[in-house]
Amino acid sequence: MFGSKSTLFFYSIIILTLTSACMQFRTNSKKVSKRFASQNIEVNIIEEKVDQSFIRYIMVNASQEEKPLLVFVHGAPGSSDNYYQFMEDPELYSHLRMISIDRPGYGYSNFGKSMTSIEQQAGILNSIIKKHHNHQQVILVGHSFGGPIVAKAALLEPQNIHSVIMLAPAIDPEHEKIFKIAYLGYKAPFRWITPKSWKVAADEKFTHIEELKKMLPEWSHLKTPIIHIHGDKDRLVPYENLAFSKKMIDPSFLQVIGLEGEDHFLPWSQKALIKQTVLQQLNRKESSASR
């Protein structure tokens, strides 16, 4: 019968199969080039091997080597697309070189091949930074699962990082939420028809608690300015993560911004605040090299 469990199962498979191609959360390089060229923005689409992984990242203003570097790291799922609205901003573009990375497994970086290690991903991020920082100030922005990655990058290479902005970061292992839908990308029989980006996100989700536990002894060692922005109505990464930062990070290096009524999707809903925060860090007189 139409309402039977078998029929619902059948239609669920059809829906997942039909939506798989359009739920990969990525834009091909040709479309990216066209998008930025239409605004007369200098763009480089870089595809290279970084620490044994094939990585793609988008860079604007690459030729302006005297400018500081702003690097964006997306969550799960996601891709470099998540930050194009910042890279197109005239004021940011006038002051900065900017990079937005397809994290391993997402976008066009080893698409569908999971890398669940926060340390490995931070190492890749630092390799890209070393190639492009040109002894200029570096600001990192990480959203959601990108939050602990940018923090880890600062822990590994503090001399290269000027400041870190974490947007609704998933950093507290005691408040890691796992929703039932995540199991679709993690276990049979649905995994094989689930979009690749969802599979990678599921692999990260089910290893994230252990990865965050590895970082627990390290937070107190952060000596890079950290700005943690979080909404109190975040249903995906609980607001308790803000309290975790207050507890674990040296207060002399930490600024927290709690947003009343705000949810998880800060890169889209809080562009003005994030832009203001970046510019404030840009205007800091001291650089990471002087600390």
19-51 pLDDT per residue, tens = 444 456 789 999 999 999 999 999 999 999 999
pLDDT for the residue numbered 24: 64
- Find residue 168's DSSP bridge partners: none
Residue 66 has pLDDT above 50, yes or no: yes
Task: Provide the residue range defining the domain that includes 134.
Answer: 5-284
What are the strands of the beta sheet with 53-60, ordered from one edge? Answer: 43-50, 53-60, 97-101, 69-73, 138-143, 163-167, 226-231, 254-259
- Judge whether 149 and 121 are in contact, CB under 8 Å: yes
Mean pLDDT for 101-119 is 96
Q: What is the CATH number for 218?
A: 3.40.50.1820
Decide if 289 is inside a domain.
Answer: no
**Residue 159 placed within a domain:** yes
pLDDT given for residue 182 in this prediction: 53
Residue 12 pLDDT exceeds 90: no
In a domain, 290, yes or no: no
Q: Is residue 291 part of a domain?
A: no
Question: Nearest to residue 170, comparing CAs of 117, 236, 116?
Answer: 236
Tens digit of each residue's pLDDT (9 = 90 or more) over 147-156: 999 999 999 9
pLDDT digits (tens, 9 = 90+) for 223-271: 999 999 999 999 999 999 999 999 999 999 999 999 999 999 999 999 9
Query: How many domains is the chain built from?
Result: 1
CA distance 54 to 111: 9
Q: Is residue 256 part of a domain?
A: yes
Q: Is 140 contained in some domain?
A: yes
pTM of the predicted structure, to 2 decimals: 0.88
Backbone angles phi, psi at 142, to 5 degrees: -130, 130
Q: Does residue 183 have a pLDDT over 90?
A: no
Model pLDDT, residue 192: 56
Indicate whether 76 belongs to any domain.
Answer: yes
pLDDT of residue 197: 83
Helices 146-156 and 196-215: angle between axes, nearest 10 degrees: 50
Nearby residues of 217 by Cβ (< 8 Å), 6 or more positions away: none
227 in any annotated domain? yes
Q: b or e along 154-182 (b: 16 or more beta carbons within 10 Å of the residue's beta carbon)?
A: bbebeebbbbbbbbbbbbbbebbeeeeeb
